[in-house]
Amino acid sequence: MAKEELLYSLKLETLDAGQILFGSGDIIQKLYFICAGEISIVLQLDNGEEIITDMLSAGSNLGAYSILKDAKQMFTIKANKYTTLMYLDRDALIHCRDEFKEINNELIKCESYIEEEGIPV
């Protein structure tokens, strides 16, 4: 896979303000990259209360925990304003790991962090 092919593997997704990308308990099969906008990582408590644990903006990625560990998402991801994302689905990501050493190395770091800290990234 050439780097140009990698670019063609990326898909576009947009969210309006307040729109949920995925919820707590979902299994995500995509690795998302935020191009523009802002995303809140929301912890939903049993009593219905929502706590914003973090905010991500352009240059951040999300979904690594779920796609690497095939695990349910612990948080709800919600757009704070109009947000543009690009994503790789699971098959494209696996192909990238085989073809691009630097991508594979970064994903190995994510997996190690998850294993050591037990915290999704």
Over residues 77-105, the pLDDT tens digits come to 999 999 999 998 888 888 877 777 877 78
Over residues 10-50, the pLDDT tens digits come to 899 999 999 999 998 898 889 899 999 999 999 988 898 99
Of 61, 64, 60, 75, the residue nearest 22 (C-alpha)? 75
* CA atoms of 89 and 112, how far apart (whole Å): 21
Q: Which two tokens stand for residue 72?
A: 């349910």
The fold adopted by the segment(s) 3-117 is: Jelly Rolls (2.60.120)
| Angle ∠(102,9,115) on CA atoms, nearest 5 | 45
pTM, to two decimals: 0.81
